Amino acid sequence: MSAPRKIAAGNWKMNGTADALAEVEALLKEHAKPGCDMVLCPPATLLHRMAGIADKGALAVGGQDCHARSSGAHTGDISAAMLQDAGATHVITGHSERRTDHGETDEDVRAKTEAAHAAGLIAIVCIGETLEQRDAGTTLDIVAAQLGGSVPDGATAENTVIAYEPVWAIGTGRVPEIDQIAEVHDFLRARLESRFGEKGALMSLLYGGSVKPANAAEIFAVTNVNGALVGGASLKAADFGGIVAALGKS
């Protein structure tokens, strides 16, 4: 690996039943050779079935979260090993909705990321500031603390992807200015290189927050943006495919 991998990842969140798998079929039909890595993270109820479709080769499948323990009395939770057994190769850790809705701390996210690594999964570790933190001018302090606390020492370019998602831009249609995205991604790259050396230089940095086909090319032109973690736009093949095409050309 001589440069960070280009990755278009989609997070379906709590959306989708069996009928939605037709969108995956359509995506693979149009993007059999996409020019970047494609990852979709469906709800757990669809993961195994989506993995069967993804066996065609152009798509990887991931979980949206995992427990820090490998097994035990944790009703309703799913371990990283269970995700891997169902066909996942990736898992999202530390998404802002998990941090907000479930009170997950950086320490929790680090433990889950370590569990993902132990199960052989690639962790997509999410960090990002709230609107109040952005307005207070503490964005870089916040993402530095989250990066340091959430990413374990064993992280490499092969097992870890970092996704910067400003919380105030997720699902709102609001997108930071290009120079704001560049500032954070450049800062994160410098921090990763300082901590991990060459491994940090090669970790993929994704941007997430209201990415759409219409703005994807401009975002992907930013230095140190190696792809996107997409929410709502990943639910439709046409929308996600447009983002994939833009990344493949970047």
Q: What is the CATH number of the domain that holds 207?
A: 3.20.20.70
Q: CA–CA separation, 208 vs 227, rounded Å?
A: 9
Contacts of 137 (CB under 8 A, 6+ apart): none
Considering the domain boundaries, does residue 124 fall inside one? yes
The pLDDT of residue 228: 98
**pLDDT tens-digit series, residues 147-173:** 999 999 999 999 999 999 999 887 777
Among residues 23, 97, 114, 165, which one is catalytic? 165
Among residues 90, 95, 117, 185, which one is catalytic? 95
Does pLDDT of 1 surpass 70?
A: no
Considering the domain boundaries, does residue 89 fall inside one? yes
Considering the domain boundaries, does residue 213 fall inside one? yes
**pLDDT tens-digit series, residues 66-80:** 999 999 999 999 999
**pLDDT tens-digit series, residues 171-225:** 777 778 999 999 999 999 999 999 999 999 999 999 998 899 999 999 999 999 9
Range of the domain at 37: 7-249
Considering the domain boundaries, does residue 95 fall inside one? yes
Task: Tell me if residue 48 is catalytic.
Answer: no
Considering the domain boundaries, does residue 1 fall inside one? no
Considering the domain boundaries, does residue 11 fall inside one? yes
Task: Tell me if residue 102 is catalytic.
Answer: no
Q: For residue 66, which of 50, 88, 46, 96 has the smallest C-alpha distance? A: 88
Considering the domain boundaries, does residue 49 fall inside one? yes
The pLDDT of residue 173: 78
> Which conformational region is residue 61 in: left (phi greater than 0), alpha (psi within -120 to 50 degrees), or beta?
beta
Does pLDDT of 82 surpass 80?
A: yes
Number of domains forming the structure of the chain:
1
Considering the domain boundaries, does residue 111 fall inside one? yes
